[in-house]
Homo-oligomer: A and B are copies of this chain.
Amino acid sequence: MDLLARIDKAVARAIAIGQGGTPPARLAEALHYATSPGGARIRPTILTSVALACGDDRPALTDAAAAALELIHCASLVHDDLPCFDDAEIRRGKPAVHRAYSEPLAVLTGDSLIILAFEVLARAAAEEPLRGAQLVLTLAQRSGMPGGICAGQGWESEPTVDLAAYHRSKTGALFIAATQMGAIAAGHEPEPWFELGDRIGEAFQVADDLRDAVMDEDALGKPVGQDAAHGRPSAVAELGLEGAAKRLKDILAGAIASIPSCQGEAALAQMVRMQSERIMPSAVRHLA
């Protein structure tokens, strides 16, 4: 089974838990709507790749961790799209959850996905409770306050922004969670895996800025030019297109160099290289 199929299956199993019994039907349906089709599943792919590089001795725990991380990511997209934030009409090429269902159901979908993420970890933790507790802790720290993606969004309500803290929490946090949770699921220490996640997060931030600047709405599946429209800080605004493309290439080289020594080091480096090619917009590839 390829990685993406493994992850999609883990996410589907998680959603089935949230839809069990006789739940309120529209909210149950919205949980599925918000998590599929899943796009590239980049964060759980990184998580599972790190777990595999570390031996993946508890695949059920790895799958739970991958699903939990993807649920948190999807929850953040649903809430970020709400009218009081980005007021996005489309997401992944289809109507945003609050458009397809309603605003109350979008709030509840995000809340339910967050909680389901921790439920999925707790269920898998019965087998390895110490790793389970570490997974819950790491996911919580990278999702909430003071250093997770909630904090990242929170910085947008501040009169003055700590830019480093803003980027690390808003975009970087879930990539750090990805590498560290992959290590934890396979029984390794999380600390040596911080740098890889942090650098991948930085790369995605720059890639996101590039896509927002050069792609069109149909190709991206969401509104473009949002950074310029909202006067948000961006690598393109700071370095220009060419500078940002070069910066992206450098960060990814540093990411690969940071991979801790482990049995699956070469395969993991290959995965990071593939993700790098995927995230560099083709319109700027010749500039890097």
Contact = CB atoms under 8 A, between A and B. Distances in A.
Contacts of A154: 23-24, 26-28, 105, 108, 112
A144 to B, nearest CB: 3
Given A22-B165, A146-B18, A146-B28, A118 B130 contact: no
A243 to B, nearest CB: 28
B157 A140 contact: no
Contacts of A28: 145-146, 154
Nearest to A85: B104
Contacts of A5: none
Given A28-B145, A114-B115, A143-B115, A102 B133 contact: no
Contacts of A114: 111, 114-115, 144
A104 B84 contact: yes
Interface string A160-188: 00100100000000000000000000000
Contact of A136 (B27, B103, B136, B141): B136
A50 interface: no
A126 interface: yes
Contacts of A75: 111
A228 to B, nearest CB: 21
A153 interface: yes
Given A133-B132, A162-B22, A153 B123 contact: no
B157 A27 contact: yes
A123 B150 contact: no
Interface string A87-118: 00000000000000111110110111011101
Given A104-B153, A104-B156, A104-B157, A115 B136 contact: no
Contact of A137 (B101, B122, B147, B162): B122
A201 interface: no
Q: How many copies of the polypeptide does the oligomer hold?
A: 2
A69 interface: no
A141 B129 contact: no
A121 interface: yes
Contact of A151 (B23, B130, B136, B143): B23
A197 interface: no
Given A18-B146, A24-B157, A115-B150, 12 more contacts: A18-B144, A24-B151, A24-B154, A84-B103, A85-B104, A108-B157, A111-B144, A112-B144, A112-B145, A115-B140, A118-B118, A118-B136
Interface of A: 18-28, 31, 75, 79, 82, 84-85, 101-105, 107-108, 110-112, 114-116, 118-119, 121-123, 125-126, 129-130, 132-134, 136-137, 139-141, 143-148, 150-151, 153-158, 162, 165
Which 9 A-B pairs rank lowest in CB-CB distance, beginning with the nearest? A115-B144, A23-B146, A27-B154, A129-B129, A119-B140, A24-B154, A122-B137, A122-B136, A84-B103
